[in-house]
């Protein structure tokens, strides 16, 4: 993405104890996909002109705040995270205005997987895997630390951007292939199979709405991330990480995108 990246998101590279390990279940995936489908239906209403293109356009004071430079991040649903079978869905929406730039510059930043490690703080390694017309597949190695936990993930994301009206672009990004990395950078580094491990990030979807306005670009990103449910026995250790990481990741993604696009 990003895109969206932002990035968010992300899982433990401690050699974790058995009580932390889990496996993504098919029912959890089905419920996440059903939730994502409903969100995409909502977004389609904005993108087709049935509602305001960018959510803050429905609130003049919020739009003014964004245009003045405020970075707005809020839950995409009142009950956030959303509990599903053996999992949690984290739904966040962020808006940022990038002054003195163009849509082409913002899109260049979001699609430049080869340089995302230089743009986004959580991305320590990145590259473009392939490009098929307007569909890009990219790779990130993500790392985040909070307290005693270190999260390192290898993420493969597929993203597509296209123009839907003059001065308006949208993007959809899907990361379904996410692997936890144990002992990263060491001789005994081990990449776990996707959907195995600590379960702090199993899926990451991102949706961008970009509009040229006021001499810059107003950008909105909605992220859906899927993590494990939190066992009571280890809630003290992982709950802060699981609950704060999606919002922090989206915030950093928006900030870094604004900074990079402003310098283009």
DSSP states along 78-145: SS-SEEETTEEEEEEEEEEEEES--HHHHHHHHH-GGGHHHH-TTEEEEEEEEEETTEEEEEEEEEEE
115 belongs to a structural domain: yes
**Between residues 143 and 9, the one the model is more confident about:** 143
Could you tell me what percent of the chain has a pLDDT over 70? 88
101 belongs to a structural domain: yes
104 belongs to a structural domain: yes
For the cut 80, the answer to whether the pLDDT of residue 236 exceeds it is: no
How many CB atoms within 10 Å of residue 7?
A: 35
Tell me the per-residue pLDDT of 147-184, one tens digit each, with 9 for 90 and over. Answer: 667 889 999 999 999 999 999 999 999 999 999 999 99
**pLDDT (average), residues 60-75:** 96
113 belongs to a structural domain: yes
11 belongs to a structural domain: no
Give me the CATH number covering residue 109: 3.30.530.20
Q: What is the pLDDT of residue 237?
A: 64
CB 244 within 8 A of CB 81: no
For the cut 80, the answer to whether the pLDDT of residue 7 exceeds it is: no
Determine the length of the chain: 264
Q: Residue 162: which domain range?
A: 18-263
- List the Cα angle 227/97/171 in 5-degree steps: 50
Q: What is the pLDDT of residue 10?
A: 35
62, 4, 142, 98 alpha-carbon torsion, rounded to 10°: -50
pTM equals 0.90
69 belongs to a structural domain: yes
Domain count of the fold of the chain: 1
């Amino acid at each position: 993405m990003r895109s969206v990246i932002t990035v968010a998101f992300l899982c433990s590279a401690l050699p974790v104890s058995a009580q932390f390990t889990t496996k993504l279940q098919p029912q959890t995936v089905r419920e996440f996909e059903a939730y994502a489908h409903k969100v995409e239906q909502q977004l389609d209403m904005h993108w087709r002109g049935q509602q305001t293109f960018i959510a803050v356009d429905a609130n003049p004071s919020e739009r003014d705040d964004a245009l003045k430079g405020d970075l707005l991040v809020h839950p995409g649903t009142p009950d956030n995270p959303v509990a599903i079978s053996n999992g949690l869905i984290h739904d966040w929406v962020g808006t940022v205005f990038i002054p003195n730039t163009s849509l082409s510059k913002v899109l260049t930043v979001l699609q430049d997987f080869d340089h995302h490690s230089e743009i986004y703080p959580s991305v320590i390694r990145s590259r473009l895997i392939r490009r098929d017309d307007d569909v890009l597949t990219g790779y990130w190695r993500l790392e985040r630390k909070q307290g005693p936990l270190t999260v390192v993930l290898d993420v493969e994301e597929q993203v597509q951007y296209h123009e839907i009206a003059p001065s308006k672009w949208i993007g959809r990004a899907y990361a379904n292939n996410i692997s936890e990395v144990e002992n990263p950078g060491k001789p005994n580094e081990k990449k776990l199979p996707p959907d195995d491990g600590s379960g702090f990030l199993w899926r990451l979807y991102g949706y961008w709405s970009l509009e040229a306005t006021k001499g810059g670009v107003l950008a909105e990103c909605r992220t859906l991330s899927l993590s494990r449910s939190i066992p009571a026995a280890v809630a003290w250790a992982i709950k802060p990480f699981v609950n704060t990481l999606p919002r922090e990741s989206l915030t950093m993604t928006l900030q870094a995108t604004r900074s990079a696009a402003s310098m283009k």
